[in-house]
Amino acid sequence: MTVGRISGREDELGALEEFLEDVRSGTGRSLVVRGEPGAGKSTLLRHAADRAAPARVLTATGAEPESGMAFAALHQLLRPVAGLADALPGAQRDAVRAALGLAEPAAAQDGFLVSAGVLSLLAEAASAGGLVCVVDDFQWVDQSSAGALLFAARRFGGGDGVGLLIGTRDGAGARRALSALPSLELGALDAASARDVLAERAAADPAPEVVEIVTAATGGNPLALRETAGLLTPDQLTGRAPLPDPLPVGEEVAAVYGERIVRLPEDTRLALLAAALEGRGDARLIRAAAEQLGADPGALDAAEAAGIVEIRPPRLRFRHPLIRAAAHAGAAPAARRAVHRRLAGLLAEDGDHDRAARHRAEAATGPDEDVAAGLAAAGERARARGGYADAAGLLARAAVLTPDPAVRARRLTDTATAAWLGGRPGRAHSALAAARGLARDPLLRAEIARLDARFELSSGNAAEALRTLLSAAEAAGAAGAAGAGGSEERARATRRIVLALLADAAEAASAVGDTEAAVRVGRRAAAVTAPPGVPEDAGDAFLRDVLTGMGVLYEGDADHGTHLLRRALAGLPDEGTGDDGSGHEHTCGTHVGHDSPGHDGVGSAEPTRPAPAGTGSAAESPAARLLWAAAAASLLGERDAAARYGARAGRVARVSGMVGTLPVVLENAATAERMNSGFALSAALSEEGLALAREAGLDNSVAAHLANLAVCAAVRGQEDECRARAREALAIAIPHRLGLRAGVASYALGLLDLGLGRFDRAHERLTALASAGPGAGHHMVVWGSAADRVEAAVAVGDRAAADAAAEFLGQWSAEAASPRARALVARCRALVADEADAPALLRRALELLAADDDQDATAYDRARTELLLGERLRRDRRAGEARPHLRHAAEAFHRMGALPWERRARGELRAAGETAGPDGPAALDGLTAQELRIARLVAEGVSNRDVAARLFLSPRTVEYHLYKVYPKLGISSRTELARLLQ
């Protein structure tokens, strides 16, 4: 198609040419072409596809009958390149193949992993000269395909050479979904362009006044102009005869098509109805269905001759979606049901049970368990492939067709879970409300209550979630006791749901900061045991020990609580998968157990989030168990062990494909890096988690990442960044009663003041933090900030406050076995000790830190301790002894980018008689968050392909970023990068 044949779209054609040129040059691009029906979107998209060479072109078109079929559009788009999936990283390869129906999913597949695999597959297909993906009628694309494509589009970068070109109708839904992508708005054609369009189709040259009237009547819509031109006589076009009033245009274009369809033979109308309802354009299937209903084998030929359809075997395409709509609207309901039944039978014979189930549902005239069961099975298959939003639609329809109220309640509950995971919270809540009204089984009622609370805990009021979970656990336990004479299977199911509810309640209590509730949870968990002689799952025992140990510790029995927590940790396997082999599920979805600012308040044992809201399980997966282990280690005062467990959880989650929980897991991975002195990487991980949490609508995870970013910014002296992140976190945390996140955000502001030498303000903030109650503060933050409170109090001369904070930390860490925990206690005692005793205590702290196996992880602690020792020695006029400690501290702070602390150390160093300045800019300061994440993984020896898999990028994007990283760091090889960053 030439440019001259697309009248009035010169600017749009130029934008498309620029888009194609960028893709040909290797840049990743996306562009949305939007407008009303008939505005010319499809014409422009076909024009771009024709001109894309040498780039490869993949195409797909959304179809309303398939808008609820998970990955239908993706299958259409990627079918020509499906063979390239073998080149993808293993987990992505399996996810993509399962999503495309080329393999059975090994287990419930996560949507994020499918999306990452789609991105990698597109990059692989683009490697031989670029790739342009053209997706028309995006408003009808199924949610799973749309999510995967938009996920990929948001991550296109330099070097990808992938272009995504989308055509969609205007509408609020389309605008929301595509709002992050650049777009072209197709407005009305002006009179000159409208005249050109009319002249192309009209039987006579239109008179100017006719052009003006027709342009106004059609709103300048190209399709309406073309159709009107074909309907007007030469006399009407030239003005010799009056124009019809009203013109059959604009909103009545569909009526025009309907009139044309009515004129066709009955057999042809029947075949068109089959094509409209089939939706995919499978000409063989359409002909077969029409023929079974009595249509002539050549029935579609008349439609093609009339210009209504275009047949290019094996595909049939309506010339415009409005024609399909007219064919559907003009048919009687009984005729539609008859066609659906024939299509269902043919698809079942072909083995396409999912599409067959949908057509059977459309043919149903009332509740039908067989039909409902088929739809539910299709929904489960969609969910297993990661198509949660589309699974929710199938399960919801199955529920409507289910005659048995108890079964309907079960399917509505499944609908709610799938809708939540698919990013449809409104549908999730409405389905859950409907299920609640039908459910009579105590276990199902407990599950419904748990889901309701999990939804609340992820994005709402954590205190309300806590109340719901505690009540549900009591009710489920009471129901189990009342039915004690039932089967062992029923008893086991009851124990599991009670334990799951208690795990979630522990998480909610941790989020709020309610220790009394944690005690209640522990007491109740201790009673959830199997009868004598009945084997107990290792995962159940592990989780019960953790929950009970937490409660006992909060109740004041340190010996018994420590014993239980250590017994739980001893049952975990060593490095590796972290799996105990139980293969069963519990739940713990949000931030369970460890969130305090940590070593010097900066590290943190932050309450972990082992599983996603609405899915999950506290002991179901290796990552979940590791996060509970991190919670246990935190309560033992062992921040370093907690950090190790949290970091392992992040690695396991990425490698295993458990990435639907990724925003949650990244909370803990980011915290672990912060605890291990990796502030730049911690911030980079939280930036990634923040973006994913916002995409998923997980408001409380958003607050967690914002709070962590505020602390990282405080350490690095980024005052504006710290304040902005903390304010945003508090705006979510306070109304949601997230005492944990509110506490960390407030702590960040206190640490900022401490680092900048504003000791009065730091003392005031940190003291207030220690007295804040549940919902606004958190006991773990009080513990984690104790060392900073000691330092601030000493700086302002409040000896009583300093003594109290040091004593509190000593008591909390009394059972800690790790050298780092004992070093922190020694450092704080040095600050409140007599001046003569302080140096020895500080040296003892350094000795303990030197005994730690991970010296990089203790870098911040060592630097803070050496700074304090150097300051003390200098004030004692022992400058020669002070200088090495101050120099080491300044250099360490410099490497970490902790500028306020570096300035303080260098100031002390100058006062001690040494004037050497910094050794150049901090190596990592010039890298973006994305570049830093890539650089750290490459430095660990991870291949470019695996880096791409872990960070949801394409290998070419990784290479592109590395080309920028090397000159920024002044290096030229992976070996030098590893030496610099490790």
pLDDT tens for 432-481 read 999 999 999 999 999 999 999 988 888 889 999 999 999 999 998 888 77
CB atoms within 10 A of CB 406: 12
- Which residues are CB-contacts of 783 (< 8 A; sequence separation ≥ 6)? 596, 637, 808, 809, 812
Q: How far apart are CA 234 and CA 154, in angstroms?
A: 51
pLDDT-wise least confident of 56-60, 480-484, 615-619, 751-755: 615-619
Helix (H) or strand (E) holding 185: strand 183-185
Contact residues for 978 (Cβ-Cβ < 8 A; gap 6+): 938, 939, 940, 941
Top CATH class, 929-981: mainly alpha
Q: Say which residues have a Cβ less than 8 Å from residue 174's Cβ, sequence separation at least 6.
A: 34, 138, 139, 168
Q: What is the mean pLDDT of residues 576-597?
A: 37
pTM summary value: 0.75
Give the integer Cα–Cα distance in Å for 837 and 638: 26
CA angle 920, 672, 657 (to 5 degrees): 115
What is the rounded distance in angstroms from the CA atom of residue 242 to the CA atom of residue 34?
Answer: 35
Contact status, residue 344 vs residue 360, Cβ threshold 8 Å = yes
The string of DSSP letters for 802-843 reads HHHHHHHHHHHTTT--SHHHHHHHHHHHHHHS-TTTHHHHHH
Q: Is the pLDDT of residue 592 over 50?
A: no
State how far the Cα of 376 lies from the Cα of 357, in Å rounded to an integer: 9
CA atoms of 245 and 213, how far apart (whole Å):
11
Look at 242 and 633; give whichever has higher pLDDT.
Answer: 633
Confidence of residue 87 (pLDDT cuts 50, 70, 90): confident
The radius of gyration computed from the CA coordinates of the chain, to the nearest angstrom, equals 32
Give whole-number Cα distances, 290 to 274, 299, 513, 558, 818, in Å.
6, 8, 65, 77, 75
Q: Is the per-residue pLDDT at 920 higher than 60?
A: no
DSSP-assigned letter for residue 207: P
Q: What is the pLDDT of residues 298-351, one digit of tens each?
A: 899 999 998 889 999 899 998 877 788 788 888 899 999 999 999 999 999 999
**Most confident listed range (156-160, 244-248, 260-264):** 260-264
**pLDDT score for 251:** 55
Residues 6+ apart with CB under 8 A from 649: 578, 608, 610, 622, 623, 624, 626, 627, 630, 665, 668, 669
Label the pairing between strands 56-61 and 29-35.
unpaired
* Residue that the structure tokens 């008591």 belong to: 811
The total number of residues written for the chain in this structure: 982
The per-residue pLDDT for range 489-517, each reduced to its tens digit, is 888 888 889 998 999 999 899 889 898 99
The percentage of residues in the chain with a pLDDT greater than 90, rounded to a whole number, is 44
482 token code pair: 């009342």
Residue pair 165/134 in contact (Cβ under 8 Å)? The answer is yes
Contacts of residue 524, defined as CB under 8 A and 6 or more positions apart, other chains included, come to: 473, 474, 477, 498, 502
pLDDT value at residue 603: 39
End-to-end CA gap in the chain: 56
Of the candidate ranges 109-118, 203-212, 588-597, the one whose mean pLDDT is the lowest = 588-597
Residue 601: pLDDT band by 50, 70, 90 thresholds? Answer: very low
Position 766 scores a pLDDT of 95
For 12, counting Cβ atoms within 10 Å of its Cβ (0-12 exposed, 13-18 middle, 19+ buried), the class is buried
At the fourth CATH level, which superfamily is domain 3-185? P-loop containing nucleotide triphosphate hydrolases (3.40.50.300)
Looking at residues 795-817, what average pLDDT do you find?
88
Q: Is the peptide bond before 314 cis (omega within 30 degrees of 0)?
A: yes
Closest by CA position to 742, among listed 514, 515, 512, 516 = 512
CA nearest 632: which of 673, 588, 676, 582? 588
What pLDDT, on a 0 to 100 scale, did the predictor assign at position 924? 65
Q: Confidence band (pLDDT; 50, 70, 90) for 583?
A: very low
pLDDT at 593 over 60: no
Instruction: Name the nearest CA neighbour of 475 among 511, 514, 510, 501.
Output: 501
Tens digit of pLDDT for each residue in 66-84? 888 889 999 999 999 999 9
List Cα–Cα distances, 950 to 645, 943, 958, in angstroms: 19, 11, 11
Q: Residue 605: pLDDT above 50?
A: no
**Average pLDDT value over all residues in the chain:** 84
Q: Which residue has the tokens 């050479």?
A: 161
Burial of 975 (0-12, 13-18, 19+ CB in 10 A): exposed
Share of the chain above pLDDT 70, in %: 89
How many CB atoms within 10 Å of residue 17?
14
pLDDT at position 615, please? 36
Task: Quick: pLDDT tens for 247-297.
Answer: 654 455 666 677 788 889 999 999 999 999 998 899 999 999 999 999 998
Q: What is the structure's pLDDT at 110?
A: 64
Distance CA 22, CA 130 (A): 10
Is there a contact between 85 and 919 (Cβ–Cβ < 8 Å)?
no
pLDDT of residue 602: 47
pLDDT(646) > 80: no
Whether pLDDT at 414 is above 90: yes
Kindly tell me if the per-residue pLDDT of 922 is higher than 80. no
Residue 213's nearest CA partner among 253, 245, 186 is: 245
Q: Which two tokens stand for residue 479?
A: 């129901």
